[in-house]
Amino acid sequence: GPTIYPVLFAALIGRALKSIAFWKLQRGSKIGTLDRVLGSMTIVQTVLTQVQMRSLSLLGFLLIVIWSLSPLGGQASLRIIRSNLQANDTIWRLQYVNTSSNVLTGIYEGADTASQFVPVNALFGAALVGASSSSSSSVDAWGNIKIPWIERLNTTWEDAEGCMYDYNQSWDSPVNTRLRHITYMENNNGPAHWVAANCTIRTTYVEVNVFCATGSCTGVKMRKSRRPCSPESWTVFDVAGSAFYWFSPRFVGALPAGHSVVASPYQNFILNPENPFPTSFNVPPVTTVSNSTFALRLGQLLNTFWMAMLAPTAVPKGLRNSNLTADTAEIGTVLSNTTVTETQTEFVLECDTFWFVVLLLSSGVTAVIGLCGLVAAMCSRGPDISFNISSLIKDSPFFDQTNVATTLSGTDRSVLMKDWYAKYGDVAAEDEVGYIAIGSGNVADLQTGRLYR
Contact 356, 76 (CB under 8 A): yes
Contact 237, 302 (CB under 8 A): no
Burial of 154 (0-12, 13-18, 19+ CB in 10 A): exposed
d(CA 247, CA 296): 19
d(CA 282, CA 163): 45
Q: State the pLDDT at residue 323.
A: 55
**Nearest alpha-carbon partner for 172 in 222, 232, 131:** 131
d(CA 344, CA 202): 37
Q: State the pLDDT at residue 172.
A: 42
Is a pLDDT exceeding 60 seen at residue 71? yes
pLDDT in tens, 171-198: 344 444 545 444 545 555 555 566 777 8
Confidence of residue 1 (pLDDT cuts 50, 70, 90): low
Contact 319, 145 (CB under 8 A): no
Is a pLDDT exceeding 50 seen at residue 317? yes
Query: Using alpha carbons only, what angle is made at residue 372 by residues 369 and 375, rounded to the nearest 5 degrees?
Result: 155
Pairwise pLDDT comparison (448 vs 409), residue with the higher score: 448
Pairwise pLDDT comparison (444 vs 410), residue with the higher score: 444
pLDDT in tens, 203-262: 888 888 888 777 678 888 888 888 887 888 888 777 666 677 778 888 888 888 766 667
Q: State the pLDDT at residue 400.
A: 78
Other beta carbons within 10 angstroms of residue 171's beta carbon come to 20
Specify the amino acid at residue 321. N
Averaged confidence pLDDT in the chain: 77
Mean pLDDT is lowest, of 199-203, 209-213, 379-383, for 379-383
Please list the residues that pair with 351 across neighbouring strands.
Answer: 81
Confidence of residue 108 (pLDDT cuts 50, 70, 90): low
Q: Compute CA distances 261 → 205, 258, 302, whole Å.
A: 39, 9, 23
Pairwise pLDDT comparison (190 vs 350), residue with the higher score: 350
E strand or H helix that includes residue 293: helix 291-310
Contact 115, 365 (CB under 8 A): no
Is a pLDDT exceeding 80 seen at residue 335? no
d(CA 313, CA 327): 9
> What letter would DSSP give residue 255?
S
Is a pLDDT exceeding 80 seen at residue 158? no
Cβ burial 136-145 (10 Å sphere, 16+ → b, else e): eebebeeebb
Distance of CA 128 to the CA centre of its chain: 38
d(CA 124, CA 145): 16
3-state secondary structure of 82: strand
Specify the amino acid at residue 30. K
Q: State the pLDDT at residue 145.
A: 82
Contact 286, 272 (CB under 8 A): no
To the question of pTM greater than 0.75 for the whole model, the response is: no
**Nearest alpha-carbon partner for 143 in 51, 217, 194, 73:** 217
Is a pLDDT exceeding 70 seen at residue 160? no
Q: State the pLDDT at residue 286.
A: 80
Confidence of residue 161 (pLDDT cuts 50, 70, 90): very low
Q: Work out the average pLDDT over 87-112.
A: 72
Please list the residues that pair with 346 across neighbouring strands.
Answer: 86
Share of the chain above pLDDT 70, in %: 79
pLDDT in tens, 422-433: 788 888 888 888
Largest CA distance in the chain: 142
Q: State the pLDDT at residue 30.
A: 80
Q: Compute CA distances 186 → 285, 296, 437, whole Å.
A: 10, 21, 121
Q: State the pLDDT at residue 321.
A: 54
Other beta carbons within 10 angstroms of residue 16's beta carbon come to 21
Cβ burial 300-338 (10 Å sphere, 16+ → b, else e): bbbbbbbbbbbbbbbbbeebeeeeeeeeeeebebbbeee
d(CA 170, CA 203): 19
Polymer length in residues for the chain:
453
3-state secondary structure of 165: strand
pLDDT in tens, 24-69: 877 777 877 877 887 888 888 888 888 877 777 888 888 888 888 8
**Nearest alpha-carbon partner for 426 in 401, 448, 444:** 444
Pairwise pLDDT comparison (333 vs 290), residue with the higher score: 290
Q: Please report, for the chain, the start and end positions of each structural domain, with discontinuous segments joined by +.
A: 1-80+352-381, 86-347, 384-453
Mean pLDDT is lowest, of 15-19, 160-164, 229-233, 257-261, for 160-164
